[in-house]
Homo-oligomer: A and B are copies of this chain.
Amino acid sequence: MKRKACAEVGIRSFDVDLPEDISEAALVAEVDRLNADHSVHGILVQLPLPKHINEEKILNQISIDKDVDGFHPLNIGRLAMKGRDPLFVPCTPKGCMELLSRSGVTVKGKRAVVVGRSNIVGLPVSLLLLKADATVTIVHSRTPNPESIVREADIVIAAAGQAMMIKGDWIKPGAAVIDVGTNSIDDPSRKSGYRLVGDVDFAEVSKVAGHLTPVPGGVGPMTVAMLLKNTVDGAKRGIVQ
């Protein structure tokens, strides 16, 4: 999907396929080669990496100027801090904010509840909502009675990775609900034997929410769009410098 989207907007993308038994040192060297290549403006490392390779080390090796995923701790630190701006905002959280903004949902002064605290979605989207002046609560697997907290939210970001956990009676009428989940569940009626569902029970919540993103077709395509945007932004900065 990413490759196709790149082609559509005129970004040249290419894969670097490496053997699974590549040494950590060789992978570091490969990242360094791409860091040094001025024709490359964004580098994505496909996770998970083989077990013998230190994921953190490889991700930290990506030049911060080409970290279009925005996962470098320096980027996350800047994202978190008032008065600092990251070079790249992680794509899915950025897409959530874009969806709210394009739908005319006010964030400032609103109660936002983020379900899930992953490094790639829950945490950074919480930080973005906070910077946008929402009152943010982060709910997670150790939260007793998450439904009572979600019920107070004007904005719900569902990023727990639990199929259809958020039910209709969890949602305040009129709330904006962004469903980041992508869970595969059995579905004998499909030829594939499964279908994709979100963290939100769409049939129930769509009757209560003011806004609700579908799965698939909601956050996913927006994430890809934000990845392209980050890459273009990075390339522009490269030209200016």
Please give the residue numbers on chain A whose beta carbons come within 8 Å of chain B beta carbons, in ascending order: 56, 72-84, 108-109, 117-119, 123, 127, 130, 133, 135-140, 142-144, 149
Contacts and interface: CB of A to CB of B under 8 A. Distances in A.
A73 B77 contact: yes
Nearest to A152: B149
A143 B134 CA distance: 7
Contacts of A83: 56, 119
Given A72-B77, A76-B77, A149-B135, A82 B118 contact: yes
A109 B144 contact: yes
A186 B207 CA distance: 55
Total identical chains: 2
A117 to B, nearest CB: 6
Contacts of A74: 73-74, 77
Contacts of A140: 130, 133, 135
Given A81-B123, A82-B123, A143-B109, A130 B135 contact: no
B78 A73 contact: yes
Contacts of A75: 77
